[in-house]
């Protein structure tokens, strides 16, 4: 099993576009590496000092 981490900065009023870009990055990675079996996907948000969400970390576990 292997693990790959992707990150994206989230800006106010651009979140949907940034999440779609993150999805595209993950899908491109899966396609380019001919990965057919994803075991899990996990998203975690990062926050600044005020508690506002400023980023997302997506981790995929797969069999390569």
Confidence class for position 61, pLDDT limits 50, 70, 90:
very high
- Percent of the chain at pLDDT above 70? 100
Q: Hey, where are the domains in the chain?
A: 2-63
Side-chain-side CA neighbours of residue 53 (13 Å): 13
Return the closest-CA partner of residue 22 out of 7, 12, 32, 37.
7
Task: Classify domain 2-63 by CATH number.
Answer: 3.30.1660
How many C-beta atoms lie closer than 10 Å to residue 55's C-beta? 15
pLDDT tens for each residue of 20-47: 999 999 999 999 999 999 999 999 999 9
Q: First-to-last CA distance in the chain?
A: 7
* Mean pLDDT for the stretch of residues 48-61: 95
- Percent of the chain at pLDDT above 90? 88
Strands of 2-9's sheet in order across: 2-9, 53-63, 37-47
Instruction: Give the pLDDT of residue 42.
Output: 97
d(CA 35, CA 16): 26
């Amino acid at each position: 099993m292997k693990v790959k981490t992707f990150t994206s900065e989230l800006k106010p009023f651009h979140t949907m576009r940034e999440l779609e870009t993150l999805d595209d990055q993950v899908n491109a990675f899966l396609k380019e590496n001919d990965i057919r079996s994803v075991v899990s996907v996990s998203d975690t948000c990062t926050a600044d000092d005020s508690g506002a969400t400023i980023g997302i970390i997506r981790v995929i576990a797969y069999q390569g």
